[in-house]
Amino acid sequence: MEEITDKPEVKTVIETPIFNASASDDLCGILLKDSVLHLAKLTGAVAVFTFGNIDTKSFKDLTIPIIDITQIKTIIEKLTYLQHEDQFQIQEVSESIRTEADKNASLLMSAAAVEYSLGTIECGIVIGLIRTQNSYSLVVHSMEENETVQTVRECEKRVSPETFRSVLHLSLNIAMKGREGKKVGTAFVIGDEEEVLERSHQMIINPFRGQDPGSEISINKKENWETVMGFAQLDGVFIISETGKILSAGRYLDVDTRDIHIEKGLGTRHLSSASITRDTNAIAVAISESGGTIRVYMDGKEVIFVEPNTSLVEVEGRQLANNPLN
Ligand SMILES: Nc1ncnc2c1ncn2[C@@H]1O[C@H](COP(=O)(O)OP(=O)(O)OP(=O)(O)O)[C@@H](O)[C@H]1O
């Protein structure tokens, strides 16, 4: 290994270049490989281990071994066999490496997805430096590939991004804080309002009835959230227009819930929320009273799942995201 004589230049201000992720599919890989080369030289590393499907051609200048862990299971086998004298440990060790790697990557993906969903950051490349018990890992993630981000974008084709993000933000507040110490369950049906109103009726007098044109109550304005949280305790759901106008609270959805499959244990609010999205182009966001979870339905299916208490965000059953709001 070539000896390093020059000390690395220490910069106190780092100018962050803006990359267009779609310009190059492999941009993340190139960036990370450069960092690996740099780090390997800087630290005088004795080897580079890679895990996963990584093309190591660009490491050819390194004079140290480049080892793909997936190709050298025999080493893992030998080590674990020596330690445990049990062949079955091999599987466990490979699995634990995979789990750790997945966990680190999904941690960054999830935080990025939640921040994007809440409108805090734009879509682009995010960099994560993750510390675990024995190591650090560097993760470069292109949000264009992030399934949660893609799903949010799908939802935002149907309703205004500002409205979708406001409802999600408010739902997190309701799920985490409840109302006066009590857990609250409710649902917001957003967009395709004419069809949704057609397929629903008032359970109580609509508290948002008779708003003057031009001064309608919008969910996009934070000052209205306290009012909404008060009415969230009512039976029924909120109807929100595509652009954020709160049209109704205490609304009953007249839907056929047959052929709708939702997770076991969820009640009629979730079932009817999912159903209305099958019958219309609306998006529904349901907050469970018993679980404190948030589910987004589109086309009759659950597309986003947020569990604020345990920091998990899932999309279509796959764990993808971590909620940094805790
Ligand atoms: N078709 C419907 N339209 C609007 N609201 C409904 C409808 N069916 C049920 N609800 C609302 O859901 C409430 C009952 O919720 P239920 O406990 O059955 O389900 P859930 O909210 O899905 O589950 P969780 O207990 O997790 O909150 C009712 O009090 C009513 O306010």
Domain locations in the chain?
Answer: 21-145, 150-209+216-322
Give the residues surrounding ligand 1 with Cβ less than 6 Å away: 185, 235-237, 252-253, 266-270, 272, 288-291
Is pTM, for the whole model, over 0.80?
A: no
Q: Write the residue with the smallest CA distance to atom 20 of ligand 1.
A: 267
Distance in angstroms (rounded) separating the CA atoms of residues 156 and 281: 12
**Of the given ranges (24-28, 137-141, 229-233), which has the lowest mean pLDDT?**
24-28
Atom of ligand 1 nearest to the CA of 200: 3
Query: Which residue out of 268, 289, 309 has the highest number of ligand 1 atoms within 8 Å of its CB and is therefore the one to mutate?
Result: 268
Contacts for 318 with CB less than 8 Å, ≥ 6 apart: 147
Fold of 150-209+216-322: YojJ-like (1 (3.40.1700)
Q: Write the residue with the smallest CA distance to atom 26 of ligand 1.
A: 288
Distance in angstroms (rounded) separating the CA atoms of residues 279 and 299: 8
Q: What is the pLDDT of residue 195?
A: 98
Strands 48-50 and 66-68: parallel
Atom of ligand 1 nearest to the CA of 289: 27
DSSP states of 193-258 as a string?
HHHHHHTEEESS--TTTTPPTTS--BTTSGGGHHHHHHHTTSSSEEEE-TTSBEEEEEEEE----T
**Of the given ranges (10-14, 69-73, 206-210), which has the lowest mean pLDDT?**
10-14
Atom of ligand 1 nearest to the CA of 287: 27
Contacts for 172 with CB less than 8 Å, ≥ 6 apart: 118, 294, 306, 308, 323, 325
Give the mean model confidence (pLDDT) for residues 241-256: 96
pLDDT digits (tens, 9 = 90+) for 50-66: 666 677 777 777 787 77
